[in-house]
Amino acid sequence: MRSVVTRLLVGGFLAPDSVAPGERVVVNAWVVRHPEATVLVDTGIGAHLPPEDVREMRFLRTPIVEALAGIGVRPEAVDLVLNCHLHVDHAGGNVEFRGTPIIVQPAELAAARDPNYTVLEDIDVDHGRYEEREGEHEPLPGIRVIPTPGHSPGHQSVAVDTDAGPLLLAGQSFRQASDFARAVTAYRLDREGYEDPPTYPEWLPRLLDLDPWRVVFGHDHAIWQPDA
């Protein structure tokens, strides 16, 4: 079944010096209007960030409820939440969806229970309706979840069938579209037998097997498209 996907800009922040000194990054979420359900992929930045982080990283935040209202979607209309992972900039609005199924990989939920991993008050681990599903699966026809660990233990990406082709919501499996492009090049070099190609994640071939027409990311407005 084919869906319509809408991107939501839900905030941004100054990247840590250890990652990208002086660079501001965006925070995206997506609404997937599936024929059988309304699905929310990521819920944005939480309301209870440590004050020192807000000050140092200059967070800007559009609460997920406000972002949804901007496209005419009420929180209670969301039937399913998929988080790429449970860091507070991707799952910080989960508390607004108590009672709504939130699908995560078991490794990610286990990591989130560590008080130093995320902001538990926003993630709502104890009271949210978390449903653990391990590995690749299809929560709805035409929506496929693919494990893409690395940035976090249970990171997952979401492939959505659209009229234009599969759209891959890759979360923070890569920080930017250019990082994904470099990994694709490394994979192609390896496949063609070049000696000592750059490394790439072991799950990357599975993503490319899906033949996505576009790949989008949690912290980038740029997209990746295959060669014309």
Is 54 domain-assigned? yes
Is 135 domain-assigned? yes
Is 190 domain-assigned? no
Is 57 domain-assigned? yes
Q: What is the pLDDT of residues 76-130, one digit of tens each?
A: 999 999 999 999 999 999 999 999 999 999 999 999 999 899 999 999 999 999 9
pTM higher than 0.75, yes or no? yes
Nearest CA among 64, 101, 62, 104 for reference residue 83: 104
CATH code: domain of residue 17: 3.60.15.10
Is 186 domain-assigned? no
| Chain position carrying tokens 């000194």 | 21
CA within 13 Å, CB half, 42: 31
84 in Cβ contact with 42 (< 8 Å): yes
Question: What distance in Å separates the CA atoms of residue 13 and residue 11, rounded to the nearest whole number?
Answer: 7
Is 228 domain-assigned? no
Is 202 domain-assigned? no
Q: What is the pLDDT of residues 65-75, one digit of tens each?
A: 999 999 999 99
What is the largest distance, in Å, between two alpha-carbon atoms of the chain?
Answer: 54
Domain region containing 23: 4-171+213-222
Is 204 domain-assigned? no
If one counts the domains in the chain, the total is: 1
Tokens representing residue 69 in the block: 């209202």
